[in-house]
């Protein structure tokens, strides 16, 4: 749930972003850093070889599980960093992401196109920072 400890906003001195926020101010609490998640299921198998949507779904499920392991949810996420092999797939990545994040007050976010990830079958990797009371 949103708290008054975290203020996510967009200064009117910067162009209004689409689908993310520019600033997340955290006052107190503790920060949780979630390592970049990739499209592997709990048994370590690659999910969705060559399929951005399936890989994104698995990545966000992994992020959800990681957040839950510390008593957090996507409402506690203040920052997402998305590493993607082909930015032309950002619309479908965002579509899946929007099923998880608070779209009315989305976390800050950065998307970076990369030439490769740790395994050539990985199409994206997403890391998160959450703030807990």
CATH code of 104's domain: 3.30.1330.40
Q: What tens-digit pLDDT sequence spans the chain (133 residues)?
A: 455 678 888 888 889 888 888 888 888 889 999 999 999 999 999 999 999 999 999 999 999 999 999 999 999 999 999 999 999 999 999 999 999 999 998 999 999 999 999 999 999 999 999 999 8
Task: List all residues 6 or more positions away from 28 whose beta carbon is below 8 Å from its beta carbon.
Answer: 5, 133
Token code pair at residue 56: 């994104």
Say how many domains are in the chain: 1
Residue 124 domain flag: yes
In the Cβ-directed half-sphere of 78, how many Cα atoms lie within 13 Å? 21
pTM score of the predicted model: 0.88
Residue 24 domain flag: no
Residue 18 domain flag: no
CA distances from 2 to 58, 60, 72, 126, 127 (A): 25, 20, 12, 22, 20
Q: Which domain holds residue 122?
A: 6-11+29-132
Residue 20 domain flag: no
């Amino acid at each position: 749930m949103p708290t008054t400890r975290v203020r996510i906003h967009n200064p009117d001195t910067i162009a209004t972003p689409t689908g993310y926020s520019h600033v997340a101010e955290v006052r107190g609490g503790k920060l949780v850093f979630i390592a970049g998640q990739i499209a592997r299921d709990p048994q370590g198998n690659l999910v969705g070889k060559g399929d951005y949507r399936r890989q994104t779904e698995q990545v966000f499920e992994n992020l959800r599980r990681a957040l839950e392991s510390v008593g957090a949810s996507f409402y506690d996420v203040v920052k997402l960093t998305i590493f993607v092999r082909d930015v032309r797939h950002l619309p479908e990545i965002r579509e899946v992401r929007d099923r998880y994040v608070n779209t009315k007050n989305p976390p800050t976010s950065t998307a970076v196109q990369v030439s490769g990830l740790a395994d050539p079958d990985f199409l994206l990797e997403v890391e998160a920072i959450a703030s807990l009371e």
